[in-house]
A = this chain, B = another copy of it.
Amino acid sequence: MTSPQAPDRIATVILSGGAGSRLWPLSRAGYPKQFLSFSGGPTLIQQTARRLSGERFSAPLIICNEKHRFLVAEQMRQIDCDPAGILLEPFGRNTAPAAAVAALHLLADAGDGDPLMLIAPSDHVIADEAAFLAAVDRAARAARRGALVTFGIAPDRAETGYGYIRRGGALEGAAEVYAVDRFVEKPDRETAAVYLAEGSYFWNSGIFLFSARTYLGELERHDPAMVAACRNAVAASRRDLTFCRLDQEAFAAARSDSIDYAVMEKTGHAAVVPVDMGWNDLGAWSALWDIGDKDDDGNVVLGDVLQHEASGNFVRTDHHLVAVVGLSNVVVVANDDAVLVADKDRVQEVKAIVERLKAEGRGEHDLHTTVHRPWGSYRGIDRGERFQVKRIVVRPGEKLSLQKHYHRAEHWIVVTGTALVTRGDTTFQLGENESTYIPAGEVHRLENPGKLPLHLIEVQSGSYLGEDDIVRFDDVYAREADEGCGGE
């Protein structure tokens, strides 16, 4: 999967780190924002990979949490993107260590070379791709001369939710690239208005371009321990199917910090490329209203929605009919198991709800009712005291592990596609409208031998229905025994 970096191309590093908790209930820790589609088209990480697929760039190196690895792999497969690698973090350490392990990983294949690296978050949108690519070209010229370039978004409003970068003098030999005068924290409203009027302040986008050696060198100067930790984590990393797992113990030694704090604010080589490219970080539901198509009443509506005397609202629903009566400036988001109703001016506080869910140990902060697995997905559709019902979807060619359960029996009814079922010593096919029964204690396996997705209804029956009642004998996805693989 790792292909040698073409020396004239820019290496791309996609960071899939955020939790997007302010976009709950759509975004959840187990399936965050970057893996979601907000437009009905490709997901944010897919948009990011596509944006970086032109001839300027090498195939992307993707850095994600290990629990998202199958999501990343599957979403890249869907858009025919073959990543240069998928680096798995055992836990998040913010962007500085992520960029460091990416740089080290790239240099391992680069010989004496010093590839340029474009660091791209995976959870924002860029409407004007041409403007972005032109900015990349400007940034690359400066980066080749040793600059550490950050992309500064030309503000179009007095935003108080972002940090700002004040540009300094123009860099020699690099058109429209400027030294960084200073980084400034999120301002209050008046200060933001001053910044907007002033014209030399830009939003900090979290997109960077520098050479691998320049970045590591600067990081080493300011935090040698972080580089040492990252070096050890990469050196002791191990291959797992198509993934590369960073060594957990070594990576734990890396301090958590951002590229901005750890390097950009300390180096003498920071530069900024101002760019106006329709950038939006979708930081909260109000941002979705900002970029959405509005009806005559200023409402942005997705899904089955009826409104009466309502205006300026953002209403999104996956399945349910949502009716809004006599309200303005609200956000309503409904999906399988949760409904959010919020003042559109206070959607930042959605985070407080997610924190409470987490503190209370509730699943709704982490997972949707549809749970994604390397072989497909499942969704709980009903449950009672001693039974539960699931719709299981297995992708063509995929198979669940060979397994058994001590406490539950399972009825399977194929409703779409074809299943290959192993039950004890026999293996047989089930077509649409056919069913089988797996008694408790029986070894079994489910597989989709066909060319179309297999959908089946599973009725589980038993005194204990926990996902941990599973004994795995063989798993093509090399999942570990202690890994939560609910519904397998």
Q: A341: CB under 8 A from chain B?
A: yes
Q: Given the interface contacts A385-B416, A391-B382, does A321 sit within 8 Å of B461 by beta carbon? A: no
Q: A309: CB under 8 A from chain B?
A: yes
Closest chain B residue, CB of each to CB of A356: B306
Q: Which residues of B contact A25 (CB under 8 A)?
A: 321, 323
Q: A384: CB under 8 A from chain B?
A: yes
- The stretch that binds B, out of A68-76, A268-276, A332-340, is A332-340
Q: Mark A9-44, 1 if CB is under 8 A from B, else 0.
A: 000000000000000110000000000000000000
Q: A281: CB under 8 A from chain B?
A: no
In the bound assembly, the distance between CA atoms of A91 and B345 in angstroms comes to: 48
Q: A394: CB under 8 A from chain B?
A: no
In the bound assembly, the distance between CA atoms of A356 and B321 in angstroms comes to: 13
Q: A102: CB under 8 A from chain B?
A: no
Q: Could you tell me if B349 and A326 are in contact, using CB atoms closer than 8 angstroms?
A: yes
In the bound assembly, the distance between CA atoms of A455 and B389 in angstroms comes to: 12
Closest chain B residue, CB of each to CB of A415: B387
Q: A223: CB under 8 A from chain B?
A: no
Q: In the complex, which of the residues B306, B324, B349, B381 contacts A382, with contact meaning CB atoms closer than 8 Å?
A: B381
Chain B min CB distance to A24 (Å) = 8
Those of A272-317 within 8 Å (CB) of chain B: 306, 308-309, 317
Chain B min CB distance to A341 (Å) = 5
Q: Could you tell me if B461 and A459 are in contact, using CB atoms closer than 8 angstroms?
A: no
Q: A342: CB under 8 A from chain B?
A: yes
Q: Could you tell me if A324 and B306 are in contact, using CB atoms closer than 8 angstroms?
A: no
Q: Which of A321, A322, A330 has the most CB of B within 10 A?
A: A321
In the bound assembly, the distance between CA atoms of A25 and B411 in angstroms comes to: 34
Q: Could you tell me if B349 and A308 are in contact, using CB atoms closer than 8 angstroms?
A: yes
Q: Which residues of B contact A391 (CB under 8 A)?
A: 382, 389
Q: Could you tell me if B323 and A340 are in contact, using CB atoms closer than 8 angstroms?
A: yes
Q: A413: CB under 8 A from chain B?
A: yes
Q: In the complex, which of the residues B339, B342, B409, B433 contacts A433, with contact meaning CB atoms closer than 8 Å?
A: B409
Q: Mark A373-386, 1 if CB is under 8 A from B, else 0.
A: 00000000110111
Copies of this polypeptide in the complex: 2
Q: Given the interface contacts A306-B353, A342-B327, A353-B323, does A415 sit within 8 Å of B432 by beta carbon? A: no
Q: Could you tell me if B364 and A341 are in contact, using CB atoms closer than 8 angstroms?
A: no
Q: Could you tell me if A435 and B415 are in contact, using CB atoms closer than 8 angstroms?
A: no
In the bound assembly, the distance between CA atoms of A320 and B368 in angstroms comes to: 12
Q: Which residues of B contact A330 (CB under 8 A)?
A: 327, 330, 341
Known pairs A25-B323, A322-B341, A389-B389. 15 more at Cβ < 8 A?
A24-B323, A309-B349, A323-B341, A323-B350, A323-B353, A325-B340, A330-B341, A339-B339, A382-B389, A382-B391, A385-B416, A411-B435, A433-B461, A433-B462, A435-B459
Closest 9 CB pairs of A and B: A326-B346, A326-B343, A325-B342, A387-B415, A433-B461, A321-B338, A381-B382, A323-B353, A413-B459
Chain A residues in the interface with B (C-beta under 8 A): 24-25, 306, 308-309, 317, 319-327, 330, 332, 334, 337-343, 345-347, 349-350, 352-353, 356-357, 362, 364, 381-382, 384-387, 389, 391, 409, 411, 413, 415-416, 432-433, 435, 437, 455, 457, 459, 461-462
- Sample (20) of A-B pairs whose CB atoms are under 8 Å apart: A25-B323, A306-B353, A306-B357, A309-B346, A319-B337, A322-B341, A325-B340, A325-B347, A325-B352, A325-B353, A326-B346, A327-B330, A330-B330, A330-B341, A332-B339, A384-B416, A384-B455, A409-B433, A411-B435, A415-B459
